Homo-oligomer: A and B are copies of this chain.
């Protein structure tokens, strides 16, 4: 039996215990994790300091090193997050709906945990605590595979979690780490369908592709987006500029950040100079195409300009770059989004009732906005209290995944001897 099979089997076993725990017991484990994080601060920071030193020696960028870094303040934040998850309502055990059949059978769809959740994620140690606490809260066992750059930090954090689990009478195998940088283990992990019920890859395009190609476990993908704002003919210019600025600039490296602005051709000549000036003030480089390029190429109003290339409207920028294109109206905007979006977040700025409805009906991204920033597509912003990922697939969950999305349901049918005629 391979090491991963042993891990998987133990997780499945633990998931059966977790599934029938009451909320008080699960919350006690979460509070114990918070306390243990504080008690073991020195141990965790020492492990993290080694990761950081190795990363610096390997020449990792300062921004990446900052993402790897833990300090007393960040660790205190993680403990606070664990305590906050304990305060959230537990979705497990609630009834989605119920009915009594004509033969008297009482039928209820009852929420239950997914079982064993596998997560593959980038090099951010805080994700280890996030995923572990959200899975525990919903009665799921978790198998984690974090980035190799934070292996020592993750080992220290999972030790803390497992100590807290044991102290509250739960199996330490409820949260396990694949504690090896061996990449071959990722491929094996993806095929552990006998023990793992769902796989959540949190990473870039190539990890998603690998999961689609290789995984035998059902996968929830997300976290990648080509996001659009369409500025309709009737748009309030100031509102449009604010929404574009916020969507593009507030945090350009995330998946709900803006990539392409579509502008109604009838207002393009008026609007684009305003847009160029606002973007110039924010150091955003513009990539206009067609008519937009013609309107800006001789006067960029201070903005850095480059004519849009053939792949630019299929690029998630993750940077201060913005594609611009004019369209003949809402219908062409919808079609452009259908053809280029990755189903993440798209917004229309308009004052026209009919166009707003056409946009909302035609764009089937995980979140569709009217007169609001794409940056709102987020579990915290949407009031879910927590977020395990932002899904852009069609099955199971779309958009921000909170606690409910870490559950499934079973049909419970209570009878008194019913048989089928």
Contacts and interface: CB of A to CB of B under 8 A. Distances in A.
A394 B16 contact: no
13 contacts: A16-B362, A20-B362, A101-B383, A105-B376, A197-B394, A197-B395, A218-B394, A220-B395, A368-B411, A398-B408, A398-B409, A399-B410, A399-B411
Given A20-B362, A394-B198, A395-B395, A413 B376 contact: yes
Interface in A348-396: 356, 360-362, 364-373, 375-377, 381-383, 393-396
B410 A366 contact: yes
Contact of A114 (B239, B372, B394): B394
Interface in A105-136: 105, 107, 112, 114-115
Given A20-B362, A115-B364, A356-B414, 12 more contacts: A218-B218, A239-B416, A364-B410, A368-B410, A368-B411, A371-B415, A372-B415, A375-B419, A394-B408, A395-B396, A398-B409, A399-B410
Dominant SS among interface residues on chain A: mixed
A286 B250 CA distance: 69
Contacts of A218: 218-219, 393-395
Contacts of A61: none
A212 interface: yes
Task: Specify how many copies of this chain sit in the oligomer.
Answer: 2
A105 B114 CA distance: 31
Contacts of A87: none
Contacts of A414: 356, 369-372
A88 interface: no
Contact of A420 (B213, B362, B373): B373
